[in-house]
Amino acid sequence: MKAKKYETMNEVAKIFCQATKEVLDASTGTSTKHSITVQKVPSIHLKPDIGCFVQFSGDYSGLMIMNYTGDAALELYRTSMMSMGFPEEELESEFTADDVVNSAGEFVNQIVGKARQLIEKNFGLHATNNQPKAITITSAINLSIATQLHRPKCRKISFRTAEGKSFYIEISLEETEFIQLFPSEVTVDDYDIDAIMSQHASNSEVDAGGSAAVDDDEMDIEAIMAQAKGE
């Protein structure tokens, strides 16, 4: 079976984009929009008005940043709270309020969790994340992990709220390449490859009264795995 290669950084960016939209749409009951392109950037930054960041590590490692304009953060906070039944008049009206900043950080926590789930589902790779941090800032801050990633690759994706307010996610990932060895619904633990190959070899032997069997080099690994699955 031929291994399937991905443009890994772009695949990861796409997954984070999907996770961001799913989480925010579900939380706010509105429809966020994102650009159809992803930007390749040399580094990632915390930027005004609210910047959030979270580190993830494990089978793969990286850093996610989410930058909100004040208007975007306030809109997402208010719509999410109202979707939970909170009266509009009781909600904060300034993006610098603690509840707004905390809400921005909680969105990031849910997004990185969703993204990790999708990566594990699609690629069988596991990672954990620390607690996201959210702060109000007045100027851009360059951000990197203290235990530096090896030749990190960076991407930036632009989003708009339902009312057209801007926010962004920026991702830095260690230099890595995802190469898929098995279909996403199959994990290495699902099958004992050695046992399957041994069984195939046994089935392929010809006894005195048997018919000719298929030679090993006439049947590839993909066909053997399909046979083992009963397909």
Nearest CA among 115, 127, 112, 130 for reference residue 11: 115
Rounded distance between C-alpha atoms, residue 215 and residue 206, angstroms: 10
Q: What is the pLDDT of residues 144-160, one digit of tens each?
A: 554 456 678 999 999 99
Helix 70-83 to helix 8-28 angle (10° resolution) is: 50
| The overall pTM is greater than 0.85 | no
Asked if omega into 49 is within 30° of 0 (cis), the reply is yes
Q: Which residue has the tokens 């230099």?
A: 175
Predicted confidence at residue 139, as pLDDT, reads 77
Q: What is the pLDDT of residues 12-32, one digit of tens each?
A: 999 999 999 999 999 999 999
Predicted confidence at residue 201, as pLDDT, reads 56
pLDDT surpassing 70 at residue 198: no
Q: Please, what is the Cα angle at 227 between 223 and 228, to 5 degrees?
A: 120
**Domains in the chain with CATH codes:** 4-178 (3.40.1550.10), 191-229 (no CATH)
